Amino acid sequence: MKLKVGVTGQAGFVGYHLFRTLFLRDDIELIPFERNYFEHQQRLGDFVEKCDVIVHLAAMNRHEDPQVIYDTNLRLVSNLIAACTSRNARPHILFSSSSQEEKDNLYGKSKKDGKLKFIDWAKDNGGKVTSLTIPNVFGPFGKPNYNSVVATFCYKIAHGEEPTIINDGEVGLIYINDLVALFISVIDEKIKTASIGQNSYEMVIEPNTFIKVSTILKLLKQYKEDYMGNGVFPNLEKPFEKALFNTFRCYVPVNHYPVKYVKHTDKRGSFVEIARTETSGQFSFSTTVPSITRGNHYHTRKAERFAVISGKALIQLRKIGTSEVVDYYLDGDEPAYVDMPIWHTHNIKNIGDTELITLFWINEPYNSEDADTYFENV
């Protein structure tokens, strides 16, 4: 039997990554959720009745009136509890709390009071709740000026704007992939949590990186200069810097690609530098006959470059969970490359009449036991 998991807020920053990662599991059935379920008692009841586990991520983080934040977040919790009670449903609810819980603000108070409501429900109705206190999170697809300072800096730098540092303090951060791994460990009951009441548990998730805001900004500016300016991949051996670079890449404007190479030609022929890196990786090439398409897969952590040096190609990308397809047309007469963002399925098709020659660079040598390659048509 598959474990049935629902994620409220599955369209949000953390929800997207958690939902899409769980989707890769063969032993989990995801129960779809839409925000409007909170306004429809029947739909919300049907949702909770189907779930073995509910990860409650839906919440309001920012509003000009803090009272609206408090009222909204408590209403979402109350509606979810009411639906469980009316259907006699007892799922394991994972509640996304915040390190703001103990601070004197209404957002933090909404998290604290919401947790208490879930604890009372678990005690009175035989359900189970685990509260996960989350630190500052960063990663691809975060909303600038909303989710994190990293998202704001990445967006502004990639789009040629100059970020402002208001307070150059040290911030504690966790990468979204690491956070999702912890959530899944709790779902699978493979990690110990502290008891805080009858059928109620808690886990305080600590940041795994502490770094000054100015250091983040310096790294991102270096990525802009080296990567966007000169096509150079940075050193990806340190986990935080690899995570930050993969985050930055997802804010590079679509029209940055394809990037044309500098072609050096003399009587012997031509020379083109495909990729300059400060890290290890794997280079390869392929030949493709006319009308054939390669790829249709995506990665969750790998950095990859497709370089067309001969023939005509169509490279397509689509962010997982969306329908918008980005098309790039490349011609070997003007060699160019496109880099593949993580969580974007991609392919390459020979649209010419001659053989297509493509060179590839990826930052990790292929490992069949941990390929980080998931197939999905663009």
Collect the ranges in the chain with pLDDT lower than 70. Answer: 270-271
R_g (Cα) of the chain, nearest Å: 23
- Going by C-beta distance under 8 Å and a sequence separation of 6 or more, which residues neighbour residue 207? 135, 136, 171, 172, 173, 174
Quote the distance between the C-alpha of residue 212 and its chain's center.
23
pLDDT at 270: 67
pLDDT at 199: 94
- Going by C-beta distance under 8 Å and a sequence separation of 6 or more, which residues neighbour residue 307? 261, 272, 274, 275, 335, 336, 337, 358, 359, 360, 361
* Residues 19 and 106 placed together within one structural domain of the fold: yes
* Residues 203 and 259 placed together within one structural domain of the fold: no
pLDDT at 130: 97
**What's the CA gap between 274 and 305, in Å, rounded?**
9
pLDDT at 364: 87
pLDDT at 353: 96
User: Are 332 and 311 contacting, i.e. CB atoms less than 8 angstroms apart?
Assistant: yes
> Residue holding tokens 């997982």?
320
Q: Is residue 216 part of a domain?
A: no
Q: Is residue 246 part of a domain?
A: no
What does 160-223 look like in DSSP terms, one character per residue? T-----S---EEEEEEHHHHHHHHHHHHTT-S--EEEETTEEEEEPPPSEEEEHHHHHHHHHHH
Region class of 189: left (phi > 0), else alpha (psi between -120 and 50), else beta: left
* Residues 28 and 99 placed together within one structural domain of the fold: yes
Q: Is residue 231 part of a domain?
A: no
* Residues 200 and 260 placed together within one structural domain of the fold: no
CATH code for the domain in which residue 131 is found: 3.40.50.720
pLDDT at 82: 96
**What's the CA gap between 246 and 251, in Å, rounded?**
9
pLDDT at 127: 92
Report pTM. Answer: 0.90
Query: Catalytic positions, please?
Result: 107
Q: Is residue 223 part of a domain?
A: no
Q: At what angle do helices 149-158 and 213-223 cross, to 10 degrees?
A: 30
Q: Is residue 191 part of a domain?
A: yes
Give the chain's domain count: 2
Whether the link from the prior residue into 258 is cis, omega within 30° of 0, is yes
How many residues make up the chain in this entry?
378
Q: Is residue 83 part of a domain?
A: yes
CATH code for the domain in which residue 358 is found: 2.60.120.10
**What's the CA gap between 95 and 206, in Å, rounded?**
16
Q: What is the DSSP letter of 226?
A: I
Structural domain of residue 278, as residue ranges?
A: 255-375
User: Are 286 and 360 contacting, i.e. CB atoms less than 8 angstroms apart?
Assistant: yes
Q: Is residue 157 part of a domain?
A: no
